[in-house]
Structure 1
Amino acid sequence: MLSISKSVVSYNIPKKVLQIIIITPIIMTLCFLIFIINPATKSFGFWLVSENRPIEIFTFIFLIIGGLFGAYNSFKLRKYLESGPLIFYGIFSFFLIIVAMEEIAWGQWFFHFETPTEWAKMNRQGETTLHNLEIMGGHNEILRIIFGLGGIIGVVLRNHPKIKKIGAPKILASWFLIIVFMGFIDFMEGEGWIQISDNYVHEIRSTSELVELLIGISSFLYLFLNFRYLKQLIKTQ
Structure 2
Amino acid sequence: MNPATVAEAVGLARAIVLATAQARVVEVAIAPATVALLPVRDAIAASDVALAAQDVHEHDKGAYTGGVSASMLRGIATYVIVGHSEVRRERGDTDARVNAKLRRALDAGLRPILCVGEGLDVRHAGRADEFVRGQVRTALADVGMGEASRVVIAYEPIWAIGTGVPAHGEDARRTIAAAREEVGVLFGSATAHAVRMLYGGSVTGESIAEFADQPGIDGALVGGASLVTDEFARICAAIGVARTRA
Q: Determine which structure has the larger helix proportion and give its number.
A: 1
Q: Structure 2-normalised TM-score?
A: 0.27
Higher Cα radius of gyration:
1
Q: Structure 1-normalised TM-score?
A: 0.27
Q: Which has the higher contact order (CA 8 A, sep 6+)?
A: 1
